[in-house]
């Protein structure tokens, strides 16, 4: 089960003088029931990858499959788009309806829901993102703050009950309570077997949520694996223009200076213990 | 810090309130009084919907206060005759870069502001070069903005604001959506603008490491000013800062944890490298 990309490439404006290869030879598998974090510098191809993976953009080459079925016709693309919910980078731009309720209802209504069932889905989805349906349903989405608009956009995606959720930097611009709420939602979705791909620049999120991490650099997957492995691969991260988590960077700098210590992804307390022990050893 | 305090405030908010049309009478800002000194790097913190963006927009007269006064660079924002001069002196980097990109190519977009100031050709050229260089956009100068990634667009919006050489640069979450190295570079750039050109930078952000890098921070909550002072003093008020979504970084926790183990680091270490160097010196 999952969305699998094999040898996928994407070129913007192919066949024109300004054609630009953005993705090449991408092999990536998003499994059901996992959170896969995608990292990379701005312009490395993250958003394009997400759009290709969700069927919003057609791959220039390579194969995409959904739950083992190859996507190679319009029906397949439709199945992919139905299975994969997408939260765009500026998700507040996804909003268009005159009220929050109508905006969230748009997706499920297009999937054939109506009446009390539809109303309940809207109420549940708003409640799931921490917006009180009583307070927000009748408001225009355009009178809300950007953080609130993001939540409405997420509610609209959740209302369609996607099996895969692809999110492009969903937490940028969200405050801490908003982020914590999103983390809880994502953990709940994972438990229910939803596969989540999340683009992020934030190691804290990776440490908290990710089952696996993939690092994109100039359109290639440079690193992919468990978060502990990726977070401590300082040389590869540097070649992708990324920094390791701050605490790993401290350990790495100290080792570079000559202190004998292990480089591990761990909490501030554990990291402090590693450093204190190594400093003591160095004094002796 | 003392020298900065002695300087005349370049931005004064005097009992400022603002209500959005359709905002059902709920003030987005309520009785804000705040002074920002010239050459200061000021962080604006607060939850989503706390009024950060509204405050940013009041500073360059994109919005006008419903009550109270905003004086930017000595000019009352409510007077129409001050508008041109305020817009020239107070640059704004908006939250969504698509709201302020107008040029057909990256370099023409950066040139748009200086051209409208009717500057000489060579001066426009110099400013565009400088801004492109500072935001690492030189290689993308001929690209059409709609072909940029969102992070690149954010850098373009910042370059456009910088090319105006404003006295005050207001950044409304200009670092959100940037990767960590670009975020850190943006903050170093703000510091450089402050130190080398005396530019006042007002930066709205959620990120603790960016707040810690500022000279002072103003914390907004439901449109009110809840705290004004040094970033460290804010983070020491654990209850207040946590309630408003500010949790110190892992590095901050590591430094505190090391202190408890008797490894006292000099100064305020904000970067992994500084912490490592401080620790190395302790051997």
Confidence check: pLDDT of A284 > 60: no
Q: pLDDT at position B3, please?
A: 45
Q: pLDDT at position A238, please?
A: 93
Answer for the pair A167, A129: CB distance below 8 angstroms, yes or no. no
Are A276 and B254 within 8 A, CB to CB? no
For residues A47 and B196, give the distance between their C-alpha atoms in angstroms, rounded to a whole number.
36
Predicted model pTM: 0.78
Which residues of chain B fall short of a pLDDT of 50?
A: 1-5
Q: What is the mean pLDDT of chain A?
A: 92
For residues A199 and B153, give the distance between their C-alpha atoms in angstroms, rounded to a whole number.
17
Task: Measure in Å the smallest separation between the Cα of A176 and chain B Cα atoms.
Answer: 4
Of B245, B251, B282, nearest to A176 by CB-CB distance is B245
Q: Which residues contact A87 (CB under 8 A, 6 or more apart)?
A: A94, A153, A154, A157, A165, A166, A167, A168, A170
Of B95, B183, B258, nearest to A173 by CB-CB distance is B95
Task: Measure in Å the smallest separation between the Cα of A87 and chain B Cα atoms.
Answer: 14
For residues A122 and A113, give the distance between their C-alpha atoms in angstroms, rounded to a whole number.
11
> What kind and span of H or E run contains A254?
helix A246-257
| Partner A, chain B 32-61, Cβ-Cβ below 8 Å | 46-49, 53
Supply angle C-alpha A278, A202, A46, rounded to 5.
130
CA B251, chain centre distance (Å): 22
Q: pLDDT at position B251, please?
A: 87
Centre a 10 Å sphere on the Cβ of residue B232 and count the other Cβ atoms it contains. Answer: 13
Domains of chain A in sequence order:
2-244 (3.40.50.300)
Are B20 and A276 within 8 A, CB to CB? no
Answer for the pair A4, A199: CB distance below 8 angstroms, yes or no. no
Of B173, B245, B276, nearest to A250 by CB-CB distance is B276
Q: What's the fold here for domain B39-57+83-237?
A: Rossmann fold (3.40.50)
Q: pLDDT at position B269, please?
A: 61
Confidence check: pLDDT of A118 > 50: yes
Question: For residue A263, is it left (φ>0), alpha (ψ between -120 and 50) or beta?
Answer: beta
Is the CB of residue B265 less than 8 Å away from at least one CB of chain A?
no
ipTM: 0.77
Nearest to B90 by CA among B64, B58, B115, B119: B58
Query: With 0-12 CB in 10 A as exposed, 13-18 as middle and 19+ as buried, what is B36?
Result: buried
CA B82, chain centre distance (Å): 23
Backbone angles phi, psi at A234, to 5 degrees: -60, -40
For residues B190 and B200, give the distance between their C-alpha atoms in angstroms, rounded to a whole number.
9
Which strands make up the sheet holding B90-93, listed edge to edge?
A: B90-93, B168-172, B200-204, B41-46, B216-221, B224-229
DSSP string, B127-159: HHHHHHHHTT-GGGTTS-GGGS-HHHHHHHHHH
Identify any residues that bridge with A223 across adjacent strands, giving them in sequence order: A215
Integer Rg of chain A from CA = 21
- What is the pLDDT averaged over residues A48-70? 94
Tell me the pLDDT tens digit for each residue of A147-178. 788 889 999 999 999 999 999 988 877 788 88
Are B245 and A175 within 8 A, CB to CB? yes
Name the CA dihedral angle for A3, A7, A8, A10, rounded to a multiple of 10 degrees.
170
Domain ranges of chain B: 39-57+83-237, 249-283
Are A247 and B258 within 8 A, CB to CB? no
Answer for the pair B40, B215: CB distance below 8 angstroms, yes or no. yes
Answer for the pair A23, A9: CB distance below 8 angstroms, yes or no. yes
Tell me the pLDDT tens digit for each residue of A13-37. 888 888 889 999 999 999 999 999 9
Are A279 and B279 within 8 A, CB to CB? yes
Confidence check: pLDDT of A86 > 90: yes
Least confident among A114-118, A186-190, B7-11: B7-11
Question: For residue A71, is it left (φ>0), alpha (ψ between -120 and 50) or beta?
Answer: beta
Tell me the pLDDT tens digit for each residue of B126-169. 999 999 998 889 999 999 999 888 888 988 999 999 999 999 99
Beta strands in B38-79 (DSSP E): 41-46, 67-72, 75-76
Integer Rg of chain B from CA = 19
Q: pLDDT at position B5, please?
A: 46
Of A41, A89, A175, nearest to B206 by CB-CB distance is A175
Is the CB of residue B283 less than 8 Å away from at least one CB of chain A?
yes
Retrieve residue A84's tokens: 């994969």
Q: Can you tell me whether residue A188 is helix, strand or coil?
A: helix
Q: Can you tell me whether residue B68 is helix, strand or coil?
A: strand
Retrieve residue A108's tokens: 């499920």
Task: Measure in Å the smallest separation between the Cα of B215 and chain A Cα atoms.
Answer: 22
Give percent of chain A above pLDDT 70.
Answer: 99
Are A175 and B48 within 8 A, CB to CB? yes
Answer for the pair A156, A94: CB distance below 8 angstroms, yes or no. yes
Q: Can you tell me whether residue A23 is helix, strand or coil?
A: strand
Tell me the pLDDT tens digit for each residue of A201-253. 899 899 999 999 999 999 999 999 999 999 999 999 999 999 999 999 999 99
């Amino acid at each position: 089960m999952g969305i699998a990309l094999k040898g996928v490439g994407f070129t913007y404006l192919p066949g024109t003088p300004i054609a630009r290869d953005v993705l090449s030879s991408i092999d990536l598998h998003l499994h059901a029931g996992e959170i896969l974090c995608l990292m990379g510098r701005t312009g490395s191809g993250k958003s394009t990858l997400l759009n290709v993976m969700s069927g919003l953009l057609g791959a220039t080459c390579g194969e995409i499959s959904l739950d083992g079925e190859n996507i190679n016709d319009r029906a397949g693309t439709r199945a992919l788009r139905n299975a994969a919910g997408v939260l765009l980078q500026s998700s507040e731009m996804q909003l268009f309806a005159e009220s929050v309720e109508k905006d969230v209802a748009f997706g499920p209504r297009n999937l054939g829901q109506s009446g009390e069932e539809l109303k309940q889905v809207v109420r549940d989805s708003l409640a799931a993102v921490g917006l009180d349906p009583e307070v927000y349903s009748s408001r225009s989405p355009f009178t809300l703050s950007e953080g609130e608009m993001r939540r409405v956009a997420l509610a609209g995606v959740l209302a369609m009950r996607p099996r895969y959720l692809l999110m492009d930097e969903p937490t940028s611009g969200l405050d801490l309570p908003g982020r914590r709420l999103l983390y809880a939602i994502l953990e709940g979705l994972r438990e229910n077997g939803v596969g989540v791909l999340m683009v992020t620049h934030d190691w804290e999120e990776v440490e908290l949520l990710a089952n696996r991490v993939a690092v994109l650099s100039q359109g290639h997957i440079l690193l992919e694996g468990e978060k502990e492995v990726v977070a401590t691969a300082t040389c590869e991260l540097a070649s992708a223009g990324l920094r390791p988590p701050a605490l790993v960077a401290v350990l790495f700098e100290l080792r570079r200076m000559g202190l004998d210590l292990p480089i591990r992804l761990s909490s501030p307390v554990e990291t402090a213990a590693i450093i204190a022990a190594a400093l003591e050893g160095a004094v002796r | 810090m003392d020298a900065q305090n002695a300087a005349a405030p370049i931005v004064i908010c005097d009992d400022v309130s603002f209500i959005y049309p359709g905002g059902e009478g709920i003030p987005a800002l309520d009785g804000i009084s705040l002074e920002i000194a010239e050459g200061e790097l000021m962080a604006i913190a607060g939850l989503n919907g706390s009024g950060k963006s509204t405050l940013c927009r009041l500073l360059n007269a994109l919005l006008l206060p419903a009550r109270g006064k905003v004086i930017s660079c000595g000019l009352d924002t409510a007077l129409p005759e001050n508008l041109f001069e305020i817009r020239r002196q107070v640059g704004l980097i908006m939250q969504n870069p698509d709201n302020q990109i107008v040029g057909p190519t990256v370099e023409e977009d950066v040139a748009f502001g200086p051209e409208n100031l009717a500057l000489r050709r060579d001066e426009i050229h110099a400013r565009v070069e400088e801004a492109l260089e500072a935001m690492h956009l030189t290689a993308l100068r001929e690209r059409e903005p709609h072909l940029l990634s969102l992070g690149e667009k954010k850098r373009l919006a910042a370059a456009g604001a910088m090319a105006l050489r404003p006295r005050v640069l207001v950044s409304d979450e200009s670092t959100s959506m940037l990767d960590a190295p670009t975020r850190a570079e943006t903050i170093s750039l703000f510091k450089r603008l402050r130190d080398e050109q005396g530019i006042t930078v007002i930066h709205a952000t959620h990120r603790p490491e960016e707040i810690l890098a500022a000279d002072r921070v103003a914390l907004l909550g439901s449109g009110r000013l809840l705290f004004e002072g040094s970033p460290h003093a804010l983070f020491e008020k654990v209850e207040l800062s946590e309630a408003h979504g500010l949790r110190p970084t892992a590095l901050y926790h590591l430094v505190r944890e090391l202190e408890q183990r008797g490894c006292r680091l000099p100064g305020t270490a904000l970067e992994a490298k500084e912490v490592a160097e401080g620790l190395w010196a302790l051997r």
